[in-house]
Chains A and B, each alone.
Chain A
Amino acid sequence: NAGVTQTPKFRILKIGQSMTLQCTQDMNHNYMYWYRQDPGMGLKLIYYSVGAGITDKGEVPNGYNVSRSTTEDFPLRLELAAPSQTSVYFCASNLSDRTYYGYTFGSGTRLTVV
Chain B
Amino acid sequence: ELKVEQNPLFLSMQEGKNYTIYCNYSTTSDRLYWYRQDPGKSLESLFVLLSNGAVKQEGRLMASLDTKARLSTLHITAAVHDLSATYFCAVASNTNAGKSTFGDGTTLTVKP
Choose the segment among A14-22, A76-84, A97-105 that binds chain B (4+ C-beta atoms closer than 8 Å): A97-105
Contacting pair A42 B48 (CB below 8 A) = no
Chain A: residues with Cβ within 8 Å of the partner, total of 29
Cα distance A61–B103 in the bound complex, in angstroms: 19
Cα distance A88–B10 in the bound complex, in angstroms: 21
Chain B: residues with Cβ within 8 Å of the partner, total of 24
Which residues of A are found within 8 Å of B92, using beta-carbon distances?
97
The B91-106 residues at the A interface (CB cut-off 8 A) are: 92, 96-105
Which residues of B are found within 8 Å of A60, using beta-carbon distances?
none
In the assembled complex, the CB of A113 is this many whole angstroms from the nearest CB of chain B, namely 19
Which residues of A are found within 8 Å of B43, using beta-carbon distances?
43, 90, 103, 105
Q: Is the interface of B mostly helix, strand, loop or mixed?
A: strand
Contacting pair A42 B102 (CB below 8 A) = yes
A56: Cβ under 8 A from any B Cβ: yes
A74: Cβ under 8 A from any B Cβ: no
Contacting pair B48 A102 (CB below 8 A) = yes
Contacting pair B42 A42 (CB below 8 A) = no
A31: nearest chain-B partner, CB-CB = B98
B45: Cβ under 8 A from any A Cβ: yes
Contacting pair B42 A97 (CB below 8 A) = no
Question: Digit string of A37-63 for contact with B (CB within 8 Å is 1, else 0)?
Answer: 000111111001010000010110000
**A43 with B99, Cβ < 8 A, contacts A90-B42, A102-B45 known:** no
5 A-B pairs within 8 Å (CB atoms) are namely: A40-B105, A90-B43, A99-B98, A101-B48, A102-B33
